[in-house]
Amino acid sequence: MPGEEWTTADHVGRYLDRADEYPRRAEGESVLGEHVPRDARRILDLGTGDGRVLALLGIDRREMVGVGLDFSEPMLAAARERFAGDERIELVRHDLADPLPALGRFEAVVSSMAIHHLTHERKRSLYGEVFELLEPGGVFANFEHVASPTRRMHVAFFAAIGEPLEDEDPSDLLLDVESQLGWLRELGFDDVDCYWKWLEMALLIGIKPARRG
Ligand SMILES: C[S@@+](CC[C@H](N)C(=O)[O-])C[C@H]1O[C@@H](n2cnc3c(N)ncnc32)[C@H](O)[C@@H]1O
């Protein structure tokens, strides 16, 4: 199964131990937060992990109802612990390689460092499913690990985040920014752009057009 390492407590533990240490990450996440409307009520997080992004968004969105999807039991256990007693958050076990389950409509769909584990074909079809379940005017914000244009830049990124290249996730299927922005435009998203980028960390955003009239 692609991404199988995420189902082990060891891999999950190593990631969570250093999740706050990635340079510039907080900056990218705060730009994501700026583009999710404060009054967004239903927010879906794809590959939620321990619920890091839902927790950040929930700080100044008291009315928000969040749904976090992930296929990793150890991650979901960490998310359950984080959100214990918080009825605003629902956690759903789901493999993103499969079509999204019926979850209703959302004002925002977010994702952080997760979709790059899917095949390119599935990334594109998932973006299409996201478009369908967004409300008109809704935002898709994908804070993502993207491909560098050259091997040298890829090596430099790993040096910059202080991780040996050998520790690269075996399931990483990195894709360049331009291809992904092109797909979002083809699918009908408006205002598509890379809103923030540092080396291989990028924030890709598109807005589903609002209904006219
Ligand atoms: C780098 S972690 C990011 C977690 C969280 N979004 C964050 O920002 O801290 C990648 C997440 O993607 C999840 N993931 C990877 N492949 C997946 C798949 N096929 N279906 C569902 N979740 C997946 C992993 O279980 C893990 O929680």
Quick: pLDDT tens for 144-166. 999 999 999 999 999 999 999 98
Around Cβ 86, how many Cβ atoms within 10 Å? 12
What's the confidence (pLDDT) of residue 167?
Answer: 85
d(Cα 4, Cα 56) in Å, to the nearest integer? 27
Exposed e or buried b per residue across 144-156, where buried means at least 16 C-beta atoms within 10 angstroms of its C-beta: bbbbbeeeeebee
Q: Whose CA is nearest to atom 10 of ligand 1?
A: 114
What's the confidence (pLDDT) of residue 213?
Answer: 57
Against a cut of 0.75, is the pTM above it?
Answer: yes
What's the confidence (pLDDT) of residue 4?
Answer: 81
Choose one of 32, 54, 117 to mutate for the ligand 1 pocket test, by most ligand atoms within 8 angstroms of C-beta. 117
Give the three-class secondary structure for 81: helix
Per-residue pLDDT of the chain (213 residues; tens, 9 = 90+): 667 889 899 999 988 989 988 999 999 999 999 999 999 999 999 999 999 999 999 999 989 999 999 999 999 999 999 999 999 999 999 999 999 999 999 999 999 999 999 999 999 999 999 999 999 999 999 999 999 999 999 999 999 999 999 888 888 999 999 999 999 999 999 999 999 999 999 999 999 999 765
**Centroid of ligand 1 to alpha carbon of 192 (angstroms):** 23
What's the confidence (pLDDT) of residue 212?
Answer: 66
d(Cα 63, Cα 150) in Å, to the nearest integer? 44
d(Cα 128, Cα 189) in Å, to the nearest integer? 10
What residue ranges line ligand 1, CB within 6 angstroms? Answer: 3, 6, 15, 19, 47-49, 52-53, 70-72, 75, 95-97, 112-114, 117-118
Choose one of 6, 50, 76 to mutate for the ligand 1 pocket test, by most ligand atoms within 8 angstroms of C-beta. 6
**Centroid of ligand 1 to alpha carbon of 211 (angstroms):** 32
Residues 6+ apart with CB under 8 A from 13: 74
End-to-end Cα distance, the chain: 46
Atom of ligand 1 nearest to the CA of 95: 20
What's the confidence (pLDDT) of residue 3?
Answer: 78
Of 179, 177, 183, 168, which Cα lies nearest the Cα of 203?
A: 177
